[in-house]
Amino acid sequence: MPTLARYFIKSGMIYFVIGLLLATVVMAQPVFDLPTSIALLRPTYLHLLTVGWITQVIVGVAYWMFPKYTKENPRGNERLGWAIFLLLNTGIILRTIGEPLVALYPTLGAGWLLALSGVTQLLGGWGFIINTWSRVKER
């Protein structure tokens, strides 16, 4: 398995654990009478599970298993692959920090974290499509 694919998959597993932990805390909030502000973590844990876990595992497996681009360059542009990894993970981390901040302190002016998060994840997604598109071909 290529190193980059392992990084995507292992990062996805880390986000899976963090997402499940946050989900557990959010679901336990009414049962244990925890502060109501904990409910604000719901979008964060959902994002960690969907983009952090599911998307990263899919990208890692696709990078690893899709048909080879060429013999000399089997997985497309590896530098672009690493850029995709950095963009997606930067976006996930920025959103994990920014979303609760914006919800708890709307006057703080942290909305730029969410905007930057969206841009980095969008660029990562486009990069994945650009790097993978030509690997999807007929026999």
What are the domain boundaries of the chain? Answer: 3-135
Residue 95 · residue 44 · CB < 8 Å: yes
Ranges of residues in the chain with a pLDDT under 50 are none
Ramachandran angles phi, psi of 105, nearest 5° = -130, 75
pTM value is 0.93
**What is the per-residue pLDDT across 38-58, written as a single tens digit (0 to 9) for each?**
999 999 999 999 999 999 999
